[in-house]
Amino acid sequence: MLWKAEREEGVIEVKEIRGDKLTFGRVKRPSLTLDFELNYIRNPSDELLFFGRIARLEHSVCLISFTPPCDGGNILVFPVDGSHWINMKILLEELHTKGHSITVMRASNSWYISEKSPVYKSITIEMDVGFENFFEVYLQEHMRAQREGASALTFFKLTKDFMSMISQAHSLWSEVLIKIFDDENMVKSLKDSQFDLVLTDPAMAPGVLLAKYLKLPVVLNVRWITSGEGHFALAPSPVSYIPVPGSGLTDKMNFLQRVKNILFYSVIVFQQKFLVGPTYDAICDEYIQGGCDILSLLQEADIWLFRSDFERGAGKIIQLADVNGHNFEQGINKVLYHDSYRQNMQRLSRLHRDQPIAPMDQAIFWVEYVMRNKGAPHLRTEAYKMPWYAYYCLDVLLLLLTAATVLLLSTVAMFRFLCCRARTTTKTKQH
């Protein structure tokens, strides 16, 4: 027996599949046994819809829908700790209910990622230095700088402190990744586990590098990357109306705000090119065949579970430097009891929920899609393989400008030739 489904009308047993037909089956009821033949199709929710012909006249058509048990996949997860893990854990719990085997790589001094869990198995990586001090020192410096007042000096100081913190965090994780690659037993264990894909958080790069090293499909979760926000790495992102995270701007910007947005974007580019990128480039050159770079690996991902929903008018911003008990209480009361916030939140909720498939179901579908198809290279954009001058069509523009210049110069030369010839002819006639 392949499947057994219990319904109000009885028990349905399916005996055999040939092509697109279940060639023999049986409906059992207390007082009736019916032989039937079924055709089936697969629908987007991964259920099988069966259309049957019953051999007895009492029932002419039978329609049954049930979900067959699926073979669980084997998923290697390389998460990021803190609030990122809270988001990842929800997805892992849902994958676990679908029967997938999950292995999580965690640091020995992790904040939230438990070593033992009913949802996943864990691989613990020894780390002597934690990240608590980094964030605590940065937060204190951030609040102190903001209290000194907004100025160019404050901006550069905060930027310097932030980039220093980020650079140290990536340096730590790059050292951990080198230890993993140099540990032959660890590498052999990972390869022998025969994982179907790597599910990772792109805010730190070890996950995508590990997937590249193991030659496994990769699914990215959340929007944050090694240097800012993933939209700028994934899609055309004109800074004229797409605000850079940290700028405090919206998609409606005046001239000065666009200047500010470009400055923030320049900081991100500088951070990726001179601070974060070189940290991992050395690993790419030494351990990855053919080399690589982080941005290309992010763009090469099979699927990106990218969520960028926004909420306008549904929250109140309190500057970190100004937070105290009084204004914090005022802010909470305003959000809770002013109708505008409630109405805006309800409007955004309706917009968010107006879709045919729930977000979690959609995320699970795409993760399983990658496992079923051994990756999804056909869904990748070819843009990440193009050199920057080809991506922006600068070579085409140069060709067109060259052609236009040659045409213009040829036209001017022709007119000058005709004019000179006409003058020569006139002078000859006069003489």
Question: Tens of pLDDT along 173-228?
Answer: 999 999 999 999 999 999 999 999 999 999 999 999 999 999 999 999 988 998 88
Please indicate whether residue 1 or residue 316 has the higher confidence score (pLDDT): 316
pLDDT digits (tens, 9 = 90+) for 49-58: 333 333 333 3
The pLDDT, as a whole number, for residue 130 is 66
322 inside domain = no
Q: Are residues 56 and 196 in the same domain?
A: no
Residues 61 and 89 in one domain: no
Cβ of 310: how many Cβ atoms within 10 Å?
8
Contact between 249 and 227 under an 8 Å Cβ cutoff? The reply is: no
Q: How far apart are CA 44 and CA 332, in angstroms?
A: 42
Confidence of residue 148 (pLDDT cuts 50, 70, 90): confident
**Of 102, 106, 107, nearest to 120 (Cα)?**
102
Domain end among 66, 89, 104: 66
What span, in angstroms and rounded, lies between the C-alpha atoms of 297 and 211? 10
| Mean pLDDT, rounded, for 299-306 | 92
Query: What average pLDDT does this structure show over 303-328?
Result: 81
The reply to whether 197 and 154 lie within a common domain is yes
Q: Are both 183 and 79 inside the same structural domain?
A: yes
Same domain, 25 and 118: no
Task: Residue 19: give the domain boundaries.
Answer: 3-66
Q: Are the CB atoms for 94 and 121 separated by under 8 Å?
A: no
Span 349-373, pLDDT tens digits: 898 889 899 989 999 999 999 999 9
Of 66, 91, 118, the residue at which a domain comes to its end is 66
Q: Do 138 and 214 belong to one domain?
A: yes
Residue 103 in any domain: the answer is yes
* Residue entry with tokens 């929903």: 309
Question: Are 214 and 190 spatial neighbours (Cβ–Cβ below 8 Å)?
Answer: yes
Residues 26 and 102 in one domain: no
Whether residue 34 lies inside any domain: the answer is yes
pLDDT (0 to 100) of residue 10:
41
Q: Is pLDDT above 60 for 344?
A: yes
Structural domain contains residue 422? no
* 275 domain-assigned: yes
The pTM assigned to this predicted structure is 0.76
Residue 363: per-residue pLDDT: 95
Cα(35)–Cα(345) distance, rounded to whole angstroms? 55
CATH, residue 365: 3.40.50.2000
**Is the same domain home to 162 and 242?**
yes
How far is it, in rounded angstroms, from Cα 11 to Cα 33?
10
What are the pLDDT digits (tens) for 374-428? 999 999 888 888 888 998 899 999 999 999 999 999 999 998 888 887 777 776 6
- The answer as to whether 328 is a domain residue is no
In whole angstroms, give the CA distance from residue 341 to residue 338: 6
pLDDT value at residue 62: 38
Domains of the chain: total = 2
Q: Shortest CA distance to 336 belongs to which of 314, 310, 353?
A: 314
Residues 124 and 227 both lie in one domain: yes
233 and 146 in a common domain: yes
More confident residue, 317 or 195: 195
In a domain, 128, yes or no: yes
What pLDDT does residue 132 have?
65
Do 178 and 213 sit in the same domain of this protein?
A: yes
Beta bridge partners of 25: 14, 36
Q: For residue 110, what are the CA distances in angstroms to 40, 81, 126, 135?
A: 48, 7, 10, 14
- Final residue belonging to a domain, choices 44, 66, 88: 66
Whole-number Å distance between alpha carbons of 413 and 427? 21
Q: Is residue 387 part of a domain?
A: no
- Does 61 lie in the same domain as 110? no
What contacts 364, CB < 8 A, 6 or more positions away?
91, 94, 95, 98
**Stronger pLDDT, 231 or 47, i.e. the higher one:** 231
- Choose from 240-254, 315-329, 361-375, 416-430 the range with maximum mean pLDDT: 361-375
- Whether the per-residue pLDDT at 230 is higher than 60: the answer is yes
Residue 303's DSSP bridge partners are 219
Dmax (CA) of the chain: 126
